[in-house]
A and B are shown apart, each in its own frame.
Chain A
Amino acid sequence: MSGAALLRLQGVSKSYGSVHANRAIDLDVSHQSIHAVLGENGAGKSTLMKLIYGVERPDVGKIEWQGREVRPTSSAEARRLGIGMVFQHFSLFETLTVAENISLLVPGTKAALAARVRDLGATFELEVDPNAHVHSLSVGERQRVEILRCLLLDPKLIILDEPTSVLPPQSVQRLFGTLRLLRDRGVSILFISHKLEEIRALCDTATILQAGRVTGRVDPRQASSRDLATLMIGREMPPPPLHAKAKPGPKVLEVAGLDHATDDPFGVSLSGISLDVRAGEIVGIAGISGNGQKELAEILSGEVALLSAQRDVIRMMDRPVGHLGAAARRRLGFAFVPEERMGRGAVPEMPLTDNALLTAHDRGLVRRGLVRRQHKAAFAQACVEEFDVRTPSVQAEAGALSGGNLQKFIIGREIMLEPKLLFVAQPTWGVDIGAATAIRRRLVALRDSGAAILMISEEIEELFEICDRLYVLHKGRLSPSLRVQGTTVEQVGEWMTGAAGEPAHA
């Protein structure tokens, strides 16, 4: 590349209190390039992007944009410069529609925007209903809105924070096609990810961060995954979980012909869902979110209970539970890790000790209606130590933990309940590679100890890595059970888009 870089960072540092999120970062993004920023959760990737996007200001260091020093003090200013960003944690108003959300940033009438949303959606396989309210959208659909909103502003640089985590394999390839096309038209891409294979397939340059510092600048097409991983986590890659052949025991969860019409006008109704999970196996539910995952999770967890007449539709531990609430199902040995960590799996304003109490109260933490403080703290402390949760203390508020650490805490808490049936939804969504591997190893260990695990996930690699069997959820219907051995990613992809299985109903 010749001439000045599009974006140049020199010696940029940023601290939050005693935490050094970024230390003396140098970064050059050339014109017409797809530049990867690779790093674990907590390595400082998101902070760096916030500095570039004007959300935060660096403590020291210089940011140059097209050869001139800039100090963007707001994201609006960054957008005027021609920088767009798709956040990992979405910045959408839940009570507004897709088109209304977009019209807050993008000029134009809502009708015109809706038409452009449909156009772009069709082009990039980012279909969303522009008139749907955001609160009714799944996590995956919300990210599509974010990407569309960014594209509509026609920027010179787009920052994408873990953009592929919610896309099906076919759409990832299309998104990559789109990104390459954008690059060839003169738009540079800053691609934040921890997925090594994606970066090697897509990016021209990679800057690798570890613990807030740059540990390498490489051409990812030349480097091996192993090299990248070593630079990223500062040691050898943790080996994938050992996956011995499952020895399935008796059925622990049985769903027979579940039909459920949703109250939510933008929700997904479930029809004819049948599945079973046996002790000692991990069963996955693949599919793009927004196909009924949210509804299925609420029904299986007991947050939405069925009518008494449908009690036999769901059986756990060989007992009818369809009509039971979440607490009653938990008493049978059921545990659940929800998709949303903040506000559902944990109360952000409460310390970890109180968050332990949320579901572990039956394990001797309450006596005669009073909370036993020491038992509560000891449980939280054991969870933090056993599951390597990085936190200053168990008195820290849950909201102050990073996503990966809080997820380790929640999964740890649920595993410490010694469940007979553990149900996890998106266990590694937005979690770094080290934490994700640790979580998967824990799930496999729990399976090997004889528990049954049902896992909803959008990450196909993850499902293939640890599951024994798979179902695929598409438009509220479930595929037949697929053995992981003898099934290909492409076959699962066909079920995910509804291309397979049509004759089954004919």
Chain B
Amino acid sequence: MPEFVPREHASVRASVLAPFLALALTVVVSLVLFALLGKPSGAALHALFIEPFLSWYSFSEVLLKTGPLLLIAQGLAIGFRAKVFNIGAEGQLILGAICASALPVYLPTSTSPWLWPAMMVLGALGGALWASIAALWRTWLNASEILVTLMLSLVASQLLNYLLLGPWKDPAGFNFPQSVMFQYEAMLPTLLPGTRVNVSLLFGLAATLAAWVLMQLSFLGYQLVVGGLAPRAASYAGFRGGRAVWVSLLLGGLAAGLAGAAEVAGPIGQLQRSVASGYGFTAITVAYLGGLRPLGIVLSSFLMAVITIGGDSAMVTADLPVAAVRVVQGLLLIFYLAALVGVRYRIVWSRIATQATS
């Protein structure tokens, strides 16, 4: 029987090895899974993990996907470390997209160079506002932010549907549920010429730096971590629990809202339903896979983007169903969480032999 003996200190070696072990296990189990599906396993794996690096185009698509995942996951991880569980980033992303879209929808002829920056600000505020509803319920009525943020995501997608089928529907759009195409000034500048990669990747990197300063250097970050690890110590020291809830949810909402704005002003170019593509939920996985640490999240968001792009090509080259890609992402998280046990615990195989008689 294995026994789990808590370590005196979290093992640094184990915490570095854990994600790689998880990745290795994911590869092995995926191979078996694809074989059982009757798909060419080797080709599928090649498509998943190698093809994204084979062409400049697909690699640029990986970078494009990395941006929003990185941005949202950095925001969420701050809350997760304070044990404030915002799992409704998808809703905050939708609100960010809606608020940002309001400008080009109502000012379709504006050519102001301040248009896209104003959209980013509006989007971030929209996401933060949506998250603040959950913060208000939590601090005022002690309603679980897990449920409130999740349910608000459903409300947000209905709001999106209403706008796209009603007032914001493109009159020249053949009745498709989508807004007008945005003008040039409403689009994010491209970062790498010839690709779709835009400055939203810089937002993600800036968020990484900000999150690192907040969590590693600032007293506010320290207070958040104390509140997460030992709530009674936080209240003993007089750190206000309500403030931790507000900070966590507002920062998470801000990041998700900004990501939503960058989606409509970036690869999509208009407001449409596909803006709710699951970044908000995937970012939860990304945050945990990165150990809730700012630098870890840079790696995990990139890895998750690779699997997403690789998954797209695997669907083509290896004929994998879309669900299989989701399963691979899920496996990665499960194996990582299991591997994390090794970070806090030593595994001891106890001897069975015992001379005691009863």
* A residues in contact (CB < 8 Å) with B: 17, 68-73, 77, 80-81, 301-303, 325-330, 336, 338, 340, 343-350, 354, 357-359, 361, 366, 369-371, 397, 400
Q: Are B356 and A358 in contact (CB under 8 A)?
A: no
Q: Is A358's CB under 8 angstroms from B226's CB?
A: yes
Report if A70-B220 is in contact (Cβ < 8 Å); known contacts: A345-B233, A347-B230. Answer: no
Name the contact of A369 in the complex, choosing from B219, B235, B236 (C-beta under 8 A).
B219
Q: Which residues of A contact B235 (CB under 8 A)?
A: 303, 326
With A301-B236, A326-B237, A328-B238 already in contact, the answer to whether A343 and B230 are too (CB < 8 A) is yes
Looking at the complex, which one of A330, A345, A370 makes contact with B218 (CB distance below 8 Å)? A370
CA gap between A470 and B328 in the complex, in Å: 67
Mask for B323-358, Cβ within 8 A of A = 1, else 0? 000000000000000000000000000100011111
- Nearest Cβ distance between residue A6 and chain B, in whole angstroms? 16
Q: Which residues of A contact B355 (CB under 8 A)?
A: 69-71
Q: Which residues of A contact B229 (CB under 8 A)?
A: 347, 349-350
B122 to chain A, nearest CB (A): 27
Q: List 5 A-B contacts (CB under 8 A).
A: A17-B8, A344-B230, A358-B233, A366-B219, A371-B218
Q: Which residues of A contact B358 (CB under 8 A)?
A: 77, 80-81
Residue of A nearest to B231 (CB): A343
Q: Are B222 and A354 in contact (CB under 8 A)?
A: yes
B273 at the binding interface (Cβ < 8 Å): no
Write out, one digit per residue, whether chain B residues 141-179 have a CB within 8 A of any chain A CB (1) or not (0). Answer: 000000000000000000000000000000000000000
Mark each residue of chain B from 231 to 260: 1 if its CB lies under 8 Å from any CB of chain A, else 0: 011011111100000000000000000000
Q: Mark B214-225, 1 if CB is under 8 A from A, else 0.
A: 000111101001
- List 7 additional A-B contacts (Cβ < 8 Å) besides A336-B236, A400-B8: A327-B240, A329-B238, A330-B238, A346-B233, A358-B226, A370-B219, A397-B8
Given contacts A71-B355, A80-B358, whether A348 and B236 have CB atoms under 8 Å apart is no
- Chain B residue at minimal CB-CB distance from A330: B238
Most chain B Cβ neighbours within 10 Å, of A17, A328, A358, A371: A358
Asked whether A361 and B236 contact (CB < 8 A) given A77-B356, A80-B358, A349-B229, the answer is no
* B218→A327 contact, CB < 8 A: no
B343 CB → nearest A CB, Å:
12
Q: Does B13 contact A (CB under 8 A)?
A: no
Contact of B236 among A71, A81, A326 (CB under 8 A): A326
Across-interface contacts of B354 in A (CB, < 8 A) = 71, 73, 77
From A325, A338, A344, A397, name the one whose CB has the most chain B CB atoms within 10 angstroms: A344
Across the interface, which residues of A come within 8 angstroms of B218, CB to CB?
369-371
CB distance from A395 to the nearest CB of B (A): 9
Identify which of B232, B237, B358 gathers the most chain A CB atoms within 10 Å of its CB: B237
The docked-state distance in angstroms from the alpha carbon of A400 to that of B8 is 6
A357 to B238, CA, bound (A): 12
B236 touches A303 (CB 8 A): yes
B residues less than 8 Å from A340 (CB atoms): 232
Interface residues on B, range: 20 to 34
CB <8 Å contact, B9 and A325: no
Q: A301–B237 Cα gap in the complex (Å)? A: 10
- Flag if B350 contacts A73 (CB, 8 Å): yes
Residue of A with least CB distance to B356: A70
Which residues of the partner chain B approach A68 to less than 8 Å between Cβ atoms?
A: 357
A17–B237 Cα distance when bound, in Å, is 34
Quote the shortest CB–CB distance from A456 to chain B (angstroms). 15
Q: Are B222 and A344 in contact (CB under 8 A)?
A: no
| Residues from chain B with Cβ under 8 Å of A366 in the complex | 219
Known: A343-B232, A358-B233, A397-B9. A325 touches B356 (CB 8 A): no
User: Which residues from A are CB-within-8-Å of B225?
Assistant: 350
CA distance A370 to B218 in the complex (A): 4
Q: Which B residue's beta carbon lies closest to that of A347?
A: B230
In the complex, A336→B356 CA distance in Å?
49
CA distance in complex: A421, B217 (Å): 31
Complex Cα gap A369–B214 (Å):
9
A417 to B232 CA separation, bound complex (whole angstroms): 20
Minimum-distance CB pairs A-B, first 8? A327-B238, A326-B238, A344-B232, A347-B230, A366-B219, A343-B230, A70-B356, A358-B237
Judge whether A325 and B240 touch: CB under 8 Å. yes
Q: Measured between alpha carbons, how far is A349 from B10 in the docked complex, in Å?
A: 9
User: Are B230 and A348 in contact, CB atoms less than 8 angstroms apart?
Assistant: yes
Complex CA–CA separation, A330 to B236 (angstroms): 10
Shortest beta-carbon distance from B239 to chain A in Å: 7
Residues of A within 8 A of B232 (CB): 340, 343-344
Q: Mark B1-39, 1 if CB is under 8 A from A, else 0.
A: 000000011000000000000000000000000000000
Residues of A within 8 A of B356 (CB): 70-73, 77, 81
By a CB distance below 8 angstroms, the chain B residues around A77 are: 354, 356, 358
CA distance A77 to B229 in the complex (A): 35
Task: Say how far B315's CB is from chain A's closest CB, in angstroms.
Answer: 43
A80 partner residues in chain B, CB cutoff 8 A: 358
CA distance A71 to B238 in the complex (A): 48
Q: Nearest Cβ distance between residue B294 and chain A, in whole angstroms?
A: 16
Alpha-carbon distance A81/B354, docked complex (angstroms)? 14
B237 cross-chain contacts in A, Cβ below 8 A: 326-327, 358-359
CA–CA, A329 and B237, complex, Å: 10
B240 to chain A: closest residue by CB: A325
Q: Are B233 and A357 in contact (CB under 8 A)?
A: no
Which residues from chain A contact B8 at a C-beta distance below 8 Å?
17, 397, 400
Please pick, from B217, B236, B357, the residue contacting A370 in the complex, using a CB distance under 8 A. Answer: B217
Taking the closest CB of chain A, its distance from the CB of B1, in whole angstroms, is 10
- Taken together as a complex, chains A and B put the C-alpha atoms of A343 and B226 apart, in Å, by 9
Q: Find the residue from B230, B239, B240, B355 having the highest chain A CB count within 10 A.
A: B230
Interfacial chain A residues near B238, Cβ < 8 Å: 302, 325-330
Complex contacts, A325 vs chain B, CB 8 Å: 238, 240
A343 with B222: in contact, given A69-B355, A400-B8 (CB under 8 Å)? no
What's the minimum C-beta distance from A497 to chain B, rounded to whole angstroms? 30
Chain B residues with CB under 8 Å of A350's CB are: 225-226, 229
- In the assembly, what is the distance between CA of A302 and CA of B237, in Å? 10
Chain A: minimal CB distance from B353 (Å): 8
B182: min CB distance to chain A, Å: 38
| CB of B211, distance to nearest CB on chain A (Å) | 15
A285–B217 CA distance with the chains assembled, in angstroms: 41
Contacts of A70 in B (CB 8 A): 355-356
Docked complex Cα distance between A326 and B226 (Å): 15
Which residues of chain A have C-beta atoms less than 8 A from B357's C-beta?
68
CB atoms of A369 and B226 under 8 A apart: no
Residues in A with CB closer than 8 Å to B350 are: 73
Chain B residues near A17: list those with CB within 8 A: 8
Most chain-A Cβ atoms within 10 A of its Cβ — which of B239, B240, B356, B358? B356
Given A71-B355, A370-B219, are A344 and B9 neighbors across the interface (CB < 8 Å)? Answer: no
The chain B residue with its CB closest to the CB of A360 is B237
From A72, A336, A347, A397, contact of B226 by CB (8 A): A347
The smallest beta-carbon distance between B349 and chain A, in angstroms, is 13
- The minimal Cβ–Cβ distance linking B286 to chain A, given in whole angstroms, is 24
Docked pose: A371 CA to B232 CA in angstroms: 22
Who on chain B is nearest to A345 by CB? B236
Give complex CA distance A344, B237 in Å. 9
In the complex, residue of chain A having the shortest beta-carbon distance to the beta carbon of B221: A371
Residues of B within 8 A of A346 (CB): 233
Chain B residues closer than 8 Å to A370, beta-carbon distance = 217-219
Q: Which residues of B contact A336 (CB under 8 A)?
A: 236
**Complex: A336 Cα to B235 Cα, angstroms:** 12
CB of B236 within 8 A of CB of A344, answer yes
Residues of chain B with a CB closer than 8 A to A357's CB = 219, 222
**Cα A106 to Cα B263 with chains together (Å):** 61
